[in-house]
Amino acid sequence: MSSHACALSTGTIAVASRRARAPAPRRARAIPITRAASASPPETTSTSPAGARAPAPYAGPPRVVILGGGFGGLYTALKLDALTWPDASKRPIVTLIDRAERFVFKPMLYELVNETMSDWEVAPTFEDLLKPTAVRYTRGDVSGVIPGDALEFKDGTVGSSGGGVVELASGESVEYDWLIVAVGTATSDAVVPGSKDHAIPLSTLEDARRLAGAMRDVEAACESGGSAMKRDVAVIGGGLSGVELAGVVAERLKGKATVTLFASEAGIMPGSPPGQRDAARKTLDAAGVATRVGARATAVNEPSDSYAGGVSAAASVTYTEADGEPTTEDYDVVCWAVGQRVESPESWPFPRDERTNKIAAEKTLRVTGHARVFAVGDVARLSDDSSSDARTRNDAYVASPPPARFDVLPATAQVAFQQADYAAWNVWSSLSSRPLLPFKYQHIGDMMVLGKTDAAVALPVGDATLDGPVAALLRRAAYLYRMPTNEHRAKLATSWLEQGAEFAAKEGPGILKSLGVPVPDFLAPNQGPNSRT
Ligand SMILES: Cc1cc2nc3c(=O)[nH]c(=O)nc-3n(C[C@H](O)[C@H](O)[C@H](O)COP(=O)(O)OP(=O)(O)OC[C@H]3O[C@@H](n4cnc5c(N)ncnc54)[C@H](O)[C@@H]3O)c2cc1C
């Protein structure tokens, strides 16, 4: 392992500052260190009594620490584990840190909202997923990252050519030689006052559980109030996720609630392929979703005093339309699908894209100015300017400020898991003294869910869009293929085949009829061999 910047002393890491030039912006810091039990790499030092011989520097295998176990982080960990390492001494110890205990396959969160799948299908535990691998998992909330050799760059920012330390909110620290930052984004709660407290987003497993609970409350309130008591659900945000959510909620609460979708002046799904937009429009219309184009939510609050619906998630939405006059209405549930914020706090020492606040990285995914750090997935913004590549000159690390122009890659799972392959490969290349590969994105189509057996799949060539039950099947098959491990894929395939057989027996005839396809005897109700006379 080449330069390792952390000089270890009894119970602390003294992070030395190897400066490009004086005066340095940061002083050497002494960081208390407690190793996270489940992630501890081989002991790097022995704790020695005061005055005893200084501990030997770390000489074990390279330590790759991955922050965030989503599509970017988990898939990088699995890829690193699967790579062949011709020089066995270069095989790294890979530690994945996530604040949650489960990986979440976010595109299938809707299946938890309509309760057609269970938690284990959409969100398997890291423990289960990583069992067949050598990847270590630590549950922890990352609060800070401290590069071991903070250096000053020309623009006054600080970077690093070495490893460092990750700090967890629990007070523990984990040392790294190579770091992958893949903490993703979350729904922004800062856009509209009250949205954080009174509206329910859909970004995490907990959000999906809350939404499913709110749906159950609405159903229960309908039952106790009689069918005359039709309820109201608002979905704020006319982008892809708002439209998907509106479709799924409207199907679940059919006949029980009216769903109102608030979209901007640009209408629904302005960035999506036209065929997919048309399919969504058709589904929303058929489900009776009321779309308010140009209605801008300005506040979400407690429901008014006159609200007597009895649903605990109830809230009021204040919005303005073209005339600018604010209107306030009560809803039994308010779903929030507007805005994203990055999960890497300002205090993390990485350069940012000014517009999005994402971490600025080179095309190789290496964070600008940080030779041992890669950024992957939603949290990363790749530079479009190869001249901005950071370079190591003598033992100083000199980098230009982050460039102003950036590629606009979509914030999708597709991008994140494709980047995971490159991140793993580039760590392998770095450790094997090979050149790094620039990331190249392959668009493989757009999928959206519109109901239990309804989806719209925009194919990657031409303007073709498939919709309806065939698209729903295709979507499931694609997601099955994209599951993180063979073990989880096999468990899901078995479970889905069983569910599929039950579903085909129950719903198959209706679906085939709606498609104008003759219903085969074995699916026709009361037409089985035992019923023939
Ligand atoms: C409802 C929904 C539907 C979607 N549908 C699609 C779709 O159909 N197709 C598609 O391609 N994309 C879809 N996306 C987008 C896609 O899920 C994201 O782009 C993708 O998950 C990004 O991957 P990531 O690894 O960057 O982040 P994530 O998958 O969000 O993973 C980030 C991980 O970091 C962890 N984390 C965050 N902060 C910390 C911290 N401080 N300490 C420790 N751990 C932390 C989180 O717990 C999480 O596990 C959808 C997203 C949502 C929310």
Instruction: Pick the atom of ligand 1 nearest to 105's CA.
Output: 17
Q: Final residue of a domain: which of 338, 366, 381? A: 338
Beta strand pairing call for 93-98 and 178-181: unpaired
* Ranges 149-153, 321-325, 350-354: which has the least confidence: 149-153
Please give the pLDDT value at position 178: 96
The mean pLDDT value for 401-428 works out to 79
Residue 207 CA to ligand 1 center (angstroms) comes to 13
| Higher pLDDT pick, 55 / 345 | 345
Residue 504 CA to ligand 1 center (angstroms) comes to 32
Please give the pLDDT value at position 289: 97
Please give the pLDDT value at position 54: 52
Task: Tell me: do 256 and 330 sit in the same domain.
Answer: yes
Instruction: Pick the atom of ligand 1 nearest to 73's CA.
Output: 25
Task: Tell me: do 69 and 157 sit in the same domain.
Answer: yes
Instruction: Pick the atom of ligand 1 nearest to 183's CA.
Output: 34
What does the block give as tokens for 364?
């190789």
Does 249 map to a domain?
yes
What does the buried/exposed string (b/e) look like for 194-225 if buried means 16 or more CB atoms within 10 Å of the residue's CB?
bbeebbbbbbbbebbebbbebbebbbebbeee
Mutation test residue for ligand 1: of 412, 418, 439, 474, the one with most atoms within 8 Å of CB: 412
Give, in degrees to the nearest 5, the angle at Cα 476 between 473 and 478: 110
Residue 205 CA to ligand 1 center (angstroms) comes to 11
Please give the pLDDT value at position 159: 75
Does 478 map to a domain?
no
Q: What is the 3 state secondary structure string of 64-130? A: EEEECCCCCHHHHHHHHHHCCCCCHHHCCEEEEEECCCECCCHHHCHHHHCCCCCHHHHCCEHHHHH
* Residue 223 near residue 311, CB atoms below 8 Å: no
Q: Does residue 426 sit in helix, strand or coil?
A: helix
Cα gap 143→139, rounded to integer Å? 13
Q: Final residue of a domain: which of 338, 372, 393? A: 338
What backbone torsions phi and psi does residue 428 show, to the nearest 5 degrees? Answer: -55, -45
Please give the pLDDT value at position 62: 95
Structural domain boundaries, residue 272:
195-338
Helix (H) or strand (E) holding 503: helix 486-514
Please give the pLDDT value at position 236: 96
* 141 close to ligand 1 (CB < 6 Angstrom): yes
Cα gap 374→345, rounded to integer Å? 16
Cα gap 427→372, rounded to integer Å? 8
What backbone torsions phi and psi does residue 334 show, to the nearest 5 degrees? Answer: -120, 115
* 359 close to ligand 1 (CB < 6 Angstrom): no
Q: Final residue of a domain: which of 292, 309, 338? A: 338
* 184 close to ligand 1 (CB < 6 Angstrom): yes
The mean pLDDT value for 102-110 works out to 97
Residue reference for tokens 């329910």: 200
Q: How does residue 227 score in pLDDT terms, banded at 50, 70 and 90? A: low
In the 8-state DSSP scheme, what is residue 452? Answer: T
Does 470 map to a domain?
no
Please give the pLDDT value at position 111: 97
- Protein residue whose Cα sits closest to atom 30 of ligand 1: 184
Task: Tell me: do 262 and 286 sit in the same domain.
Answer: yes
Strand partners, 258: 232
Dihedral sign computed on CA atoms, order 165, 167, 172, 178: negative
* Residue 65 near residue 178, CB atoms below 8 Å: yes
Q: How does residue 152 score in pLDDT terms, banded at 50, 70 and 90? A: low
Please name the residues in contact with 292: beta carbons below 8 A apart, sequence gap of 6 or more: 260, 261, 262, 263, 319, 321
Task: Tell me: do 173 and 218 sit in the same domain.
Answer: no
Strand partners, 320: 296, 326
Does 146 map to a domain?
yes
Provide the H-helix boundaries in 374-465.
413-431
- Protein residue whose Cα sits closest to atom 21 of ligand 1: 413
What does the block give as tokens for 104?
């979440």
Nearest to 366 by CA among 312, 301, 423: 423
Q: What is the 3 state secondary structure string of 290-302? A: EEEECCEEEEEEC
* 205 close to ligand 1 (CB < 6 Angstrom): no
First-last CA distance in the chain: 79
| Higher pLDDT pick, 230 / 404 | 230
Task: Tell me: do 11 and 159 sit in the same domain.
Answer: yes
Does 254 map to a domain?
yes
CATH number at residue 89: 3.50.50.60
Cα gap 389→404, rounded to integer Å? 13
- 468, 474, 476, 481: CA torsion to nearest 10: -170
Task: Tell me: do 75 and 179 sit in the same domain.
Answer: yes
Q: How does residue 368 score in pLDDT terms, banded at 50, 70 and 90? A: very high
Residue 255 CA to ligand 1 center (angstroms) comes to 33
Residue 71 CA to ligand 1 center (angstroms) comes to 7
Residue 508 CA to ligand 1 center (angstroms) comes to 34
Cα gap 359→350, rounded to integer Å? 6
Q: Is 70 left (phi over 0), alpha (psi -120 to 50) or beta?
A: beta
Task: Tell me: do 120 and 245 sit in the same domain.
Answer: no
Query: Given a cut of 80, is residue 394 above it in pLDDT?
Result: no
* Ranges 47-61, 77-91, 330-344: which has the least confidence: 47-61
Residue 184 CA to ligand 1 center (angstroms) comes to 5
Most confidently modeled range among 41-50, 111-120, 225-234, 321-330: 111-120
Task: Tell me: do 144 and 68 sit in the same domain.
Answer: yes
pLDDT in tens, 5-64: 333 232 333 333 333 332 233 333 433 333 343 433 433 333 334 444 555 678 889 999
pTM of the model: 0.83
* 272 close to ligand 1 (CB < 6 Angstrom): no
* 142 close to ligand 1 (CB < 6 Angstrom): yes
Mutation test residue for ligand 1: of 66, 67, 71, 441, the one with most atoms within 8 Å of CB: 71
pLDDT in tens, 249-300: 999 999 999 999 999 999 999 888 888 999 999 999 999 999 999 999 999 9
Does 460 map to a domain?
no
* Ranges 94-98, 169-173, 397-401: which has the least confidence: 397-401
Instruction: Pick the atom of ligand 1 nearest to 413's CA.
Output: 11
Q: What's the mean per-residue pLDDT of the chain?
A: 82
Please give the pLDDT value at position 228: 59
Q: How does residue 519 score in pLDDT terms, banded at 50, 70 and 90? A: confident
Does 142 map to a domain?
yes
Task: Tell me: do 258 and 324 sit in the same domain.
Answer: yes
What does the DSSP assignment read for 216-279? HHHHHHHHHH-TT--EEEEEE--SHHHHHHHHHHHHHTTTTEEEEEEE-TT-S-TTS-HHHHHH
The mean pLDDT value for 349-371 works out to 93
* 412 close to ligand 1 (CB < 6 Angstrom): yes
Task: Tell me: do 244 and 216 sit in the same domain.
Answer: yes
Cα gap 69→361, rounded to integer Å? 19
Q: How does residue 78 score in pLDDT terms, banded at 50, 70 and 90? A: very high
Q: How does residue 162 score in pLDDT terms, banded at 50, 70 and 90? A: confident
* 100 close to ligand 1 (CB < 6 Angstrom): yes
Task: Tell me: do 178 and 325 sit in the same domain.
Answer: no
Domain count, the chain: 3
Task: Tell me: do 384 and 508 sit in the same domain.
Answer: no
Does 526 map to a domain?
yes
The mean pLDDT value for 487-510 works out to 86
Query: Given a cut of 50, is residue 400 above it in pLDDT?
Result: no
Instruction: Pick the atom of ligand 1 nearest to 378's CA.
Output: 26
Residue 323 CA to ligand 1 center (angstroms) comes to 37
Strand partners, 247: none
Give, in degrees to the nearest 5, the angle at Cα 320 between 315 and 321: 130
